[in-house]
Chains A and B, each alone.
Chain A
Amino acid sequence: MSENNAWKKFQSFVVNTQVWRAIFRTGIPTTPRQRMMVVLNGVFLHLHPVRLPKHAVKVKYTWCMGGLSFFVFLVLTITGILLMFYYRPTVEYAYGDIIDLREQVPLGIMREIHRWGAHLMVITVWLHMFRVFMTGSYKPPREFNWAVGVILLVLTMLMSFTGYLLPWDQLAIWAITVGSNMAGATPFVGTGGPGSSLLAIGDVNFVTSTSDAKFAMLGGRFVGEAALLRFYVLHCIGLPFVMMIFMIVHFWRVRKDGGISGPT
């Protein structure tokens, strides 16, 4: 009894310290008001509105795919950052570093999580899109956010594509070779694309193997050292940066367009 009392005392002391109160404004959310305040006051929970219509809480309706996509993105960010400690994007070291992640690095399973997470994210994003379509959630006023979503889908696939090269094994370079050859066939600005020969003055060709779309992508005429570096930079910094921006817009618009869709 006294023990319990002491515990209570200690608890109330902790909860009433200035430090505690400075951090946790609302206290333990036991009343509806506190529950509201928790959501309203927290920077992260603030993504959500305070209350939602019941259908929007049901997994049956939402499948939770958007949230999972975001979660997997966070997992990928964290594991990705950790992988960068051990990975050097050079033709000399890349392959060996990947091998060492499995062979030597403690908890090198990080790489497996990252790789499968990447695949998972592509799948969850697709399914999210599928759900949004099936519930007609792209309809006004959410047209713009649907477009943002499509861009995020593309970015997800580009992230996955750029990451595919980094292990620098046969699977990697040939997959990227197949992919980048398509860029080489871009109309007008790819050497193998229609109209590229029209971008010439006299005998001087302006679309060459060192100045076409594929080159801009690879930093070289074929998948090599420069491509590895470019893909690495895009994968680790460039695309995530763009993606973050679009994600912010996407989440903001979800709230501003009236939260999750629902029947009128």
Chain B
Amino acid sequence: MGKDERHYNINKLNVVFAVVSVVLLLTLMSVFMNDYDRDWKDYQRQFRTIEIEKARVKLDKENIELSQQAEYEELEGKIAAAKQAYKDKCLAQTELQEQIEEANAKLTLVEQDYKFRKAEFDAAKYRFEHGEAYHEHDVDQYREAFQSLDQQVTKLALDVEEAKTALKSKQRMMDNCGAQLAQLERDERQMTARQSILVRQLDSIDPNAMNLTNQVANMVRDLPILELANPRNKVEQIVLKDVTEDVNFMNVPRVDRCTTCHLGITNPDYVNEAQPFTTHPNLELYVGKNSPHPLEEFGCTVCHAGRPRGTSFNGAVHVPSSPQQKKEWEEKYGYHQMELWEEPMLPLPYTEAGCYKCHSGEFPVKGAEKLSTGLAMIETAGCYACHEIERYKDWPKPGPNLTKLAGKIDKEWGWRWLNDPHSFRHNTMMPSYFNQSNNSDVVSKKRSDQEIHAILHYLFENAQPYPSDRLPIKGDPARGEELVASVGCYACHQIQPEKGDEMVTVDGLRRRFGPNLIDIGTKTSARWLYNWLKDPNSYHPDTAMPNLRLTDQEAADIASFLIQDKNNAFSQHPVPAVNVNVLNDIVLGFLKRADTDQGARNTLAGMKLEQKLEFAGEKLIAQYGCFSCHNIKGFDNAKPIGVALSEESSKSLHKFDFGFLHIEHSKHAWYAQKLKDPRSFDKGKIKAPDEKLRMPNFNLKNDEIEAIVTALLGFVDESQVQAKIKPRTPENLAKEQGEELVAQFNCRGCHMVEGQGGSIHDSVEKWLVDFEEKTDNEAAKVRDSFSPPNLHGVGRKLNPEWLFNFLHEPKQKVRPWLRVRMPTFNFNVVHLNTLVKYFQAVDGDNFPLKINVETGLTDKEYEAAAKLFSEDYFGCTQCHVVGSKLPTGSQDSWAPNLALAKTRLQPEWLIEWIKNPSKLMPGTKMPTFFDPENYDTSGPDDLLDGNENEQIRVLRNFLLTLSEEQQRDVAAPVPETP
């Protein structure tokens, strides 16, 4: 062996080599299979099965429908006959056919000849033009060539024409012969259009419907490797250039692959299919082709979040909406959440959060009920006061002004209230600071008692006197009760003793806009109430509580009614005495922050009890942030104490402290826990009293929490969707600002604005039943007449000047029969302008819109108009108030005061209104006098030659002459100041 210079046995080497090669080959093959095997392919296969099934069902239906149509059968028969006829008559004309062929050949030849000669001609033309332009030597030669070709081409063109005519005449004979068949076939195509599409669809997907070759092809095309060419299973993606993904260094186009598995998402046929094939709900609003959010332009993840490029269940970072679902997914998909993805999919209950990033300027967000509720909760609870939120930057403080506190409550009540506000008023938005999970132990409790004392002390010491008048007259509680029910208090307030179990809604929150007035007698005095009602701004300059212009008597009545309600149990809650030792600890703690231990002790020793209380009170107010919601003397410029929330949900999950709580590690779970029990993250932690979490407990119900969490999840960085956000045009800004004011002053408590609101209607109905002796049915019928008006279209309808003045001081009685009052709000000029602009912007009009139109009338016209106005024709006064004259018709159709038309209404609008009221205000009670379907014949024929336009114009002008004082012979004027 040594001689051969060999060591290994070649046979053995061969065997080893063969084995390792085969192993490598097998490994390589499994690489291919591993790459080939993807979940989404299974889904696409499944989907195809469903698709085939659906198409088959549809086709069957279509076929049955067709076969039931007599027309179709008839057509089939006709076609068969026509075909036979064509075969017999037309095709039999062999001579003609030969002629056609011949003519065709001739034409082709002549045409080619012409084409070539024409090309030569064009080139010669250029050469000649060029030669002439540049004075070339051979220009004459070029000219000659050009001219001769010109002649040839002209001649050939004629030849072509001739050949064409010849062919056409022959062809026409043939065509005429087959014209009937062609027409019939066209009819058939039209009739079977849907069927043939289905047939074609099935041909392309259904193995049973295709021939063998295609079956083979469809198998082959999806094989490993070969699938590179023309596969059926493929990753679907939507690339969105203007909806970006934030990759920290920059924003890059978003690439959504969700539709790879969610294949039926835009197809309404799949409503009842299971995920992932089911149709998206509400295609008119989302994803649908004609919706405002078409799939191609918005994709999926910009709203739903998740990992857009993922093509597997876990890769897309789905998030279960409940623990059960999580368990289910774990079993079914091997689910686990991808931890290193910042934007996991929004769980189903919180999906509406996705709307916010684009619709952050809207109040409320239309179509997103839960998100709107969440935002309304944030507004009502005043979260923005402690937590900076971009949207609520300039909003007033949500709590009452405490600078004149001493005039309203006593210290004892104050102590009990601070100790546990919810025990006095179950649904108050004043949150609980004490008796919480991190300060309920005995030591903390003792400390809390003293803290409350200190805070109250500070507040009372620093309260200005409230120069309130005594009740001038004795009030009548019964009348007070009726007034509360009728003037409109229930638009914002409720008197609700028990916690209801109704779900929180935007509308419900409007009725909770002002405090629940239950047990108010325990809280304050009739005197304070009287003064508050007469002039709320004197107690709280920024209050949203308007002035209802109550008479002294009315105010006294209401005060005396409200004061009756008392809560004795609450009053009996013991108030502990001031404990100097505990107080000393508190004071010392605060002192030590700025001093040495000894220094602090020295200072403490030098303080009197009063001083200690005052000192501790101030520090505690600063610590708890009371000033964020309430005006408190000495805290005018203090900064809010909470975390800014404007882009809270763009924050990395790592920045959320879950403490020692065993809850799911997700933003939504954290938010929910924080809202449920804000202090619970302190659990198990050892903290000094001033280190403890401070966020108070709002006693929120689960549905309220869910709504708020939805809104919070929506608070994200908007840079990704800049291109999709409504442009900040003056109109849109006017709308935004107006909507903001509408929310701030709770206009929707009384009015329908942009189709939402009018929360007061129910209580108006109740009032009608309770106090006006109407039956339930009657009340339901006339409740709209006795409720504040719908503000739909007022931008176009009202004269902006009038609107401005009316909002400022609503003295004029447009609807004198109403008991509910348009109160006087504390609007400043900016507010007023904003509102007027807003209403105009909503109606698409530019501010300021004021058209001067000629409103004069000739005598003849006046006469005609007066007739139209009268009972004989339109009978306007049946429903409309004119001046102080109430309508003659039934209450449920009473309508505004026409005497105000002159100053109040836009003349142009009036024309359109008279013409077709329900076009401007769908569902209006105003009758349509001119039938829009047959407009030209709709008016009375005997006036103004039956010219409808003229009739409307004179009627409009007539209305504009009406006034409170003088009216020409229509109704006896009884002028009266409102």
Task: Indicate yes or no for A touching B, C-beta below 8 A.
Answer: yes
Interfacial residues, chain A to chain B (CB-CB below 8 A): 200-208, 210-211
Known contacts A204-B217, A206-B221; A211 and B211 CB within 8 A of each other:
no
The DSSP consensus for interface residues of chain B is helix
- In the complex, whether B503 has a CB less than 8 A from a CB of chain A is no
B713 to chain A, nearest CB (A): 33
Question: In the complex, A207→B216 CA distance in Å?
Answer: 17
Contact check: which of A203, A208, A210 meets B217 at CB < 8 Å? A203
Contact assessment for A201 and B229 in the assembled complex, using a CB-CB cutoff below 8 Å: no
Question: In the complex, A239→B230 CA distance in Å?
Answer: 29
B432 to chain A, nearest CB (A): 55
Considering the complex, which residues of chain B in the window 93-110 have a beta carbon less than 8 Å from any beta carbon of chain A?
none
Contact assessment for A211 and B228 in the assembled complex, using a CB-CB cutoff below 8 Å: yes
Q: List 8 A-B contacts (CB under 8 A).
A: A201-B213, A201-B214, A201-B216, A202-B210, A202-B213, A203-B217, A204-B214, A206-B229
Contact check: which of B214, B226, B228 meets A202 at CB < 8 Å? B214
Find chain B residues with CB under 8 A from A204 CB: 214, 217-218, 220-221, 230
Contact check: which of B211, B214, B216, B230 meets A206 at CB < 8 Å? B230
Find chain A residues with CB under 8 A from B229 CB: 206-208, 211
Find chain B residues with CB under 8 A from A201 CB: 213-214, 216-217, 220-221
Question: In the complex, A205→B220 CA distance in Å?
Answer: 11
Question: In the complex, A210→B228 CA distance in Å?
Answer: 9
Question: In the complex, A206→B231 CA distance in Å?
Answer: 9
- Of B213, B214, B217, B229, chain A has the most CB atoms within 10 Å of the CB of B229
Contact assessment for B230 and A202 in the assembled complex, using a CB-CB cutoff below 8 Å: no
Known contacts A208-B230, A211-B229; A202 and B221 CB within 8 A of each other:
no
Ranked nearest first, the 4 interchain pairs of A and B with the lowest CB-CB distance are: A201-B217, A202-B213, A202-B214, A204-B217
Find chain A residues with CB under 8 A from B215 CB: 202
Question: In the complex, A7→B218 CA distance in Å?
Answer: 86
Find chain B residues with CB under 8 A from A211 CB: 228-230
B843 to chain A, nearest CB (A): 44
Question: In the complex, A211→B217 CA distance in Å?
Answer: 16
Question: In the complex, A175→B220 CA distance in Å?
Answer: 37
Residue of A nearest to B234 (CB): A210
Find chain A residues with CB under 8 A from B210 CB: 202
Find chain A residues with CB under 8 A from B220 CB: 201, 204
Find chain B residues with CB under 8 A from A210 CB: 230
Contact check: which of A200, A202, A205, A207 meets B211 at CB < 8 Å? A202
Contact with A along B583-620 (1 / 0, CB 8 A): 00000000000000000000000000000000000000
Find chain B residues with CB under 8 A from A206 CB: 221, 226, 229-230
Find chain A residues with CB under 8 A from B213 CB: 201-202
Find chain B residues with CB under 8 A from A202 CB: 210-211, 213-217
Question: In the complex, A206→B227 CA distance in Å?
Answer: 9
A141 to chain B, nearest CB (A): 28
If A203-B214, A204-B220, A208-B230 are given as contacts, then 7 extra A-B residue pairs at C-beta distance below 8 Å, sorted by A number, are A201-B214, A202-B210, A204-B214, A204-B230, A206-B229, A208-B229, A211-B230
Residue of A nearest to B227 (CB): A211
Question: In the complex, A117→B918 CA distance in Å?
Answer: 80
Question: In the complex, A208→B213 CA distance in Å?
Answer: 19
A226 to chain B, nearest CB (A): 13
Question: In the complex, A46→B215 CA distance in Å?
Answer: 64
Contact assessment for A205 and B214 in the assembled complex, using a CB-CB cutoff below 8 Å: no
Find chain A residues with CB under 8 A from B218 CB: 204
A209 to chain B, nearest CB (A): 10
Contact with A along B211-245 (1 / 0, CB 8 A): 10111111011000010111000000000000000
Question: In the complex, A10→B217 CA distance in Å?
Answer: 84
Question: In the complex, A205→B214 CA distance in Å?
Answer: 11
A239 to chain B, nearest CB (A): 23
Residue of A nearest to B211 (CB): A202
Find chain A residues with CB under 8 A from B211 CB: 202
Contact assessment for B216 and A205 in the assembled complex, using a CB-CB cutoff below 8 Å: no
Question: In the complex, A207→B229 CA distance in Å?
Answer: 6
A78 to chain B, nearest CB (A): 30
Question: In the complex, A203→B215 CA distance in Å?
Answer: 10
B220 to chain A, nearest CB (A): 6
Find chain A residues with CB under 8 A from B228 CB: 211
Question: In the complex, A203→B221 CA distance in Å?
Answer: 11
Question: In the complex, A203→B200 CA distance in Å?
Answer: 12
Residue of B nearest to A216 (CB): B228
Question: In the complex, A121→B816 CA distance in Å?
Answer: 98
B228 to chain A, nearest CB (A): 6
B190 to chain A, nearest CB (A): 26
Question: In the complex, A204→B223 CA distance in Å?
Answer: 13
Find chain B residues with CB under 8 A from A203 CB: 204, 214, 217
B320 to chain A, nearest CB (A): 37
A195 to chain B, nearest CB (A): 15
Question: In the complex, A211→B214 CA distance in Å?
Answer: 19
Question: In the complex, A223→B213 CA distance in Å?
Answer: 35
Find chain A residues with CB under 8 A from B214 CB: 201-204
Find chain B residues with CB under 8 A from A205 CB: 230
Find chain A residues with CB under 8 A from B226 CB: 206
Question: In the complex, A206→B217 CA distance in Å?
Answer: 9
Residue of B nearest to A206 (CB): B229
A220 to chain B, nearest CB (A): 13
Question: In the complex, A207→B226 CA distance in Å?
Answer: 11
Contact with A along B397-420 (1 / 0, CB 8 A): 000000000000000000000000
B531 to chain A, nearest CB (A): 68
A90 to chain B, nearest CB (A): 11
Question: In the complex, A211→B225 CA distance in Å?
Answer: 12
Question: In the complex, A47→B213 CA distance in Å?
Answer: 61
Question: In the complex, A203→B212 CA distance in Å?
Answer: 11
- Of A201, A204, A208, chain B has the most CB atoms within 10 Å of the CB of A204
Question: In the complex, A168→B243 CA distance in Å?
Answer: 26
Question: In the complex, A209→B345 CA distance in Å?
Answer: 36
Question: In the complex, A210→B235 CA distance in Å?
Answer: 14
Question: In the complex, A205→B218 CA distance in Å?
Answer: 11
A207 to chain B, nearest CB (A): 7
Question: In the complex, A202→B229 CA distance in Å?
Answer: 15
B310 to chain A, nearest CB (A): 22
Question: In the complex, A147→B109 CA distance in Å?
Answer: 52
B233 to chain A, nearest CB (A): 13
Question: In the complex, A229→B220 CA distance in Å?
Answer: 31
Residue of B nearest to A204 (CB): B217
Residue of B nearest to A205 (CB): B230
Residue of A nearest to B216 (CB): A201
Find chain A residues with CB under 8 A from B217 CB: 200-204
Question: In the complex, A201→B215 CA distance in Å?
Answer: 9
A35 to chain B, nearest CB (A): 38
B495 to chain A, nearest CB (A): 64
Question: In the complex, A1→B143 CA distance in Å?
Answer: 94
Contact with A along B113-134 (1 / 0, CB 8 A): 0000000000000000000000
A132 to chain B, nearest CB (A): 40
Question: In the complex, A131→B218 CA distance in Å?
Answer: 56
Question: In the complex, A203→B204 CA distance in Å?
Answer: 9
Question: In the complex, A205→B217 CA distance in Å?
Answer: 9
- Of B210, B220, B228, B230, chain A has the most CB atoms within 10 Å of the CB of B230
Question: In the complex, A211→B226 CA distance in Å?
Answer: 10
Find chain A residues with CB under 8 A from B204 CB: 203
B242 to chain A, nearest CB (A): 15
Contact with A along B164-179 (1 / 0, CB 8 A): 0000000000000000
A159 to chain B, nearest CB (A): 27
Residue of B nearest to A211 (CB): B229
Find chain A residues with CB under 8 A from B230 CB: 204-206, 208, 210-211
Question: In the complex, A208→B210 CA distance in Å?
Answer: 21
Question: In the complex, A32→B906 CA distance in Å?
Answer: 114
Question: In the complex, A211→B229 CA distance in Å?
Answer: 5
Considering the complex, which residues of chain B in the window 29-70 have a beta carbon less than 8 Å from any beta carbon of chain A?
none
Residue of A nearest to B231 (CB): A211
B294 to chain A, nearest CB (A): 25
B158 to chain A, nearest CB (A): 39
Question: In the complex, A205→B221 CA distance in Å?
Answer: 9
A215 to chain B, nearest CB (A): 10
